[in-house]
Chain A
């Protein structure tokens, strides 16, 4: 059942990208979607106790993703300016950060958000500890102020 659901989602995505390109493309897409679903089930660990996202949480995450644009665009500009400068003013380092988020999906979203925010990159996620590489210490301000964590906690962390 799970395999069929994953195959259907993958195949739908394939159809959106390749609609109108002939039957061979449809058959190839179906085969690839099925193969990817098999690989996903057998090779990627999943937590069966993790509840799926509710409608409210899904809408919240869409709003969160749109809100990320306000963080990503200016910071991408700052990184672009750094690499274009003659003196290449970078002071890279590694930061260990403990998150207060408890749900695996919230921690994954936090790690991806940190990676999408230029200047910081999530290198490893081990339980509640994130290893973060930064280009300059001032890029970690949003992390120090727990801005992303507070937003994600409001959307994904359910009260016990």
Chain B
């Protein structure tokens, strides 16, 4: 019974994670400019990855694999915003002007 519950919870987490990855990818394609696309990749993707890894951790049980998964979660949570910030900062200093509905410029 407990094993069934753990497997079910892991499946829900992994499916939810895949859903966030899908949303991030759709956002990357649909959002209008560079800065908006950075939102999609740096928000939905880490949440998706953490959910999938948590589900995998539940399936692996309390062993070395679970410690590896915790280390990976920490790595993703730290590096994802840092990489997103580096990308956005590079764009900002390169002179990319953010698109807004008011200025109605062609998205960059």
Contact = CB atoms under 8 A, between A and B. Distances in A.
Interface residues of B, number: 42
B88 interface: yes
Question: Interface size class for chain A?
Answer: 20 to 34
Contact of A111 (B33, B67, B85): B85
Contacts of B44: 76, 79-80, 83, 118
Contacts of B92: 123-124, 131
Interface in B64-86: 64, 67-68, 71-72, 75, 77-78, 80-82, 84-85
B84 A115 contact: yes
Interface of A: 13, 16-17, 19-20, 65, 72-73, 75-76, 79-80, 82-84, 88, 90-94, 111-112, 115-116, 118-119, 121-124, 131, 133, 135
Interface of B: 19-20, 23-24, 26-27, 30-33, 35-36, 38-40, 42-44, 46-47, 64, 67-68, 71-72, 75, 77-78, 80-82, 84-85, 88-89, 91-93, 98-101
